Amino acid sequence: MDRRGGERHWWLGKRIVTIGGGTGPFALLSSLKRYPCAITAIVTMADSGGSSRRLMDEFGQLPFGDLRQALVALSRKGVLWRDVFAFRFRQTNGNATLELDAGDTAESAADAADAPAGVTGHSLGNLVISALQEINHGDLLMAIQDAQELLDTAGDVLPVTLDHATLCATLENGDVIKGETHIDTRGIEHPEELPAIRQLFLRETAAACPQALRAIRRADAIIIGPGDLYTSILPNLLVDGIAESIRAAEGVKIYVCNLMTKHGETDGFQASDFVREVHRYLGGRVDRVVLHDGSFPDHLVAAYQLEQRHPVRADLAAVREMVPDVEVERLVADGHDHYVRHDPERLMRAAFADLDGV
């Protein structure tokens, strides 16, 4: 059977759940929506910066940044509506204008600003979701359903929890960092060698969103990642009931490993280190790991080295001792920009290849 044809046949009518946050799942969801399957994107609610932080402080709402990005990724409405939800009002400072994009970097930049008044620095998508929640008398799930209708999404987006929770990290030296943004940006703020993260935890107990648990329980495939390990992936597994539900689920469990390390979080990590951490917080193992084959354009590697970020080495022997099924493909997108990204089609092929035999 043609390999690509087999993949399409397997996807037909299947329930696919993705678990992550940030910009990592964007390419996967954008590609997955073109195939005949039922998609549910479960996203982290640990965001603590930028527009999300201001809405949390002013209205007591949960962070919307990761929800917004998943909604945009799944939208079938067209470029205009996607651009509307991704638009961020510009922060001006004297004669200078700071352009803020729709990604995690924008959230951090807005958070670093002096808490400007009005809509400056806000994501328009965050404001729309905030308004929809107010219209629905504070019900976030109903607000997301309305946003899905506006964007004509190809699947459902669910928060991993409806509780407020603060992400914290204990370092090897015993220090504790509080807040997702502080964990996420410490490598940018401190270029020197940093103590490694020893333990990730939530300051408050957070119960899983019941709809998220239901989606995991019914899934034919659960895809964890890609995304920042300690701020986008593992926070989901800290929510009460999520790890247990994934372990108990009958669907195939797939982990997509990162392409690059991140200073302050995964310095010196090889692929097996990423997998080991996922297994530690999951309390069990995944069924398949998807790895990049290690080839990178030289100019991209050089640019990332300036940020102390390096390609994740695929130490296959170690990973294969941990997971029964390892797919190795050339996953880096052939783009003309300066970012290392997963190629969505190659990622799809690697994630779902020959799953009938798993």
Q: Is 152 helix (H, G, I), strand (E, B) or coil?
A: coil
pLDDT of 93 strictly over 70: no
Query: Please, where in the chain does CATH 3.40.50.10680 lie?
Result: 1-45+160-358
Find the mean pLDDT for residues 282-299. 91
* Rounded average pLDDT over 67-87: 84
Is-contact 125 87, C-beta < 8 A? yes
pLDDT tens-digit map of 191-229: 888 999 999 999 999 999 999 999 999 999 999 999 999
Which three-class secondary structure state does DSSP give residue 21?
Answer: coil
Range 59-88 average pLDDT: 79
Spacing of C-alpha 94 from chain mean position: 35
The pLDDT of residue 99 is above 70 = no
pLDDT value at residue 200: 97
Q: What is the pLDDT of residue 172?
A: 96
Cα angle for residues 130, 134, 138 (degrees, 5° grid): 100
Q: Say what percent of the chain tops pLDDT 70.
A: 82
In whole angstroms, give the CA distance from residue 329 to residue 91: 41
Please give the C-alpha separations between residue 217 and each of 15, 19, 100, 163, 220, in angstroms, as whole numbers: 10, 13, 38, 21, 9
pLDDT score at 87: 81
According to DSSP, residue 199 is labeled E
For residue 239, pLDDT beyond 80: yes
Query: For 354, left (φ over 0), alpha (ψ -120 to 50), or beta?
Result: left
Instruction: Return d(Cα 290, Cα 137) in angstroms, integer.
Output: 42
Percent of the chain with pLDDT over 90: 51
pLDDT above 80: residue 81: no
pLDDT at 114: 44
Q: What pLDDT score was predicted for residue 356?
A: 60
Cα 185 from chain centre? 16
- With cut-offs at 50, 70 and 90, classify the pLDDT of residue 3: very low
Query: Residue 100 — pLDDT band, cuts 50, 70, 90?
Result: very low
- CATH of range 1-45+160-358; options 3.40.50.10140, 3.30.1280.10, 3.40.50.720, 3.40.50.10680: 3.40.50.10680
**Cβ atoms of 171 and 177 closer than 8 Å:** yes
Which of 41-55, 154-168, 177-191 has maximum average pLDDT?
Answer: 154-168
Q: To the nearest whole number, what is the mean pLDDT of the chain?
A: 83
Phi, psi (degrees; rounded to nearest 5) at 197: -80, 125
In the prediction, which pLDDT does 327 show?
Answer: 94
Residue 223 token pair: 């895809």
User: Mind listing the pLDDT tens digit for each residue in 22-54?
Assistant: 787 888 898 899 888 999 999 998 865 444 444
Q: What is the pTM of this model?
A: 0.86
pLDDT value of position 336: 57
